[in-house]
Structure 1
């Protein structure tokens, strides 16, 4: 299972950004929840569907893209061990 198949657009926090990177030319742009939800039914899309439907915005490219969730807050990695 891919994490993009488990998260819907409506699960994103308001104002949270998605980084969109072109697989062909490397151009990067950002999407927000508000930009994706141009119509009410789009909030039920899973992120893999958004990735499949989104194309590169660089002039003349229109290549396939890869999306990643951008975290604005501090992140911490899980450090586990056996005691």
Structure 2
């Protein structure tokens, strides 16, 4: 899967940070510039896949990274 280029924050020009959160499983793309007074952010839920042991689940972050980057780049939140 090809990684997409993340456009900078439309308000301050800094490159946003992509964070993985495990509880609940989600991806968050946000501006972390302390001088940006808007600090835009978007978050999406990540699907989980059952592990081979049958008792635990693994978030499928890689499958959703392009989705959140595309939303950020289109500013279609």
TM-score clears 0.5: no
Scaled by the length of structure 2, the TM-score of the pair is 0.31
Scaled by the length of structure 1, the TM-score of the pair is 0.30
Compare the two structures and name the one with the higher helix fraction: 1
Compare the two structures and name the one with the higher strand fraction: 2
Of the two structures, which has the highest relative contact order with CA contacts closer than 8 Å and spacing of 6 or more?
1
